[in-house]
Amino acid sequence: MSKVFEVAKEAALAGGALLKSRVGKIKSVDYKSAYNLVTDVDKASEELIIATIKAAFPEDSFLAEEGGVTHGKAAGSGGHSPVRRWIIDPLDGTTNYTHSYPFFCVSIAAEEDGVVTHGVIFNPMSGELFRAIKGQGAFLNDEPIHVSKCTSLDNGLLATGFPPDTVNNIYNNMDSFKHITNVCHGVRRDGSAALDLSFVACGRLDGFWERKLSAWDVAAGALIVEEAGGKVSNLEAGPLDMMSGHILATNGSIHQQVVEALTTANSH
């Protein structure tokens, strides 16, 4: 196993252990915007994760939810030595966490030359660690995982999410939620995009879509879905742009059906 993966796993387990130990013991809750929460636990988890990674890779760069962008520098001398960038969500599901609702995780991805090569997502409450290395498949606690075999949207179980400010946000997702709920088995709203993507990867969900996420919400999960045999795109089936935050991930078989359903919903 690669050193990058081992460090990502170590950092995710450390951050997850901290989250679990602090459930119900939050000391402060602040607002990054009128509806967007951040707690002292988010910040402590991020500091621990970054410190763990820096101990092994001191020259790497970071894109993290609470700390923003930290630039590293190319290691070594001579030749091409790309800067690795770590994309980190130290607590995906902060609103859940503030209510002690046990659906949250740590998400860590490593990117080189603009390509995500490693992804680790850890749910400390269930002890489930989802992970993938590009080209090497996807795993849950070291067992290989694969997307579902569902071939029809009307038999599918999907998940989605909503922006914090649904009242004022033009991407509030309400029309899509209503329409797709009516054409499938059901749509879940769990409050953690990273775990929703993990559940697509292991076949618990057949698809997931959401608008206006951030790179740290989707970087690791998108790789894990693809390595599990699924498909990831924007909402129109084009290439995923992590910075735009519009994502659709499915088992592949129902991908175009979901694209068409989303198009129908947005045309009303």
pLDDT single digits (tens) 124-164: 999 999 999 999 999 999 999 999 999 999 999 999 999 87
- Do residues 182 and 231 both lie within one domain? yes
Taking the model in full, what pTM does it have?
Answer: 0.92
Q: How far apart are CA 24 and CA 130, in angstroms?
A: 25
- Do residues 56 and 29 both lie within one domain? yes
Range(s) of the domain holding residue 106? 3-144
- Do residues 259 and 236 both lie within one domain? yes
- Do residues 254 and 170 both lie within one domain? yes
Number of domains composing the chain: 2
Provide the token pair at 257: 């059906």
- Do residues 7 and 133 both lie within one domain? yes
- Do residues 124 and 164 both lie within one domain? no
Express each pLDDT in 166-225 by its tens digit. 677 777 899 999 999 999 999 999 999 999 999 999 999 999 999 989 999 999 999 999
Residue 176 · residue 262 · CB < 8 Å: yes
> 3-class SS at 35?
coil
Q: Give 268's pLDDT tier (boundaries 50, 70, 90).
A: low
Provide the token pair at 32: 């990054």
Provide the token pair at 129: 């660690």
- Do residues 43 and 168 both lie within one domain? no
- Do residues 90 and 25 both lie within one domain? yes
- DSSP conformational letter for 34: S
In sequence order, what are the residues at sequence separation of 6 or more whose Cβ sits closer than 8 angstroms to the Cβ of residue 143? Answer: none
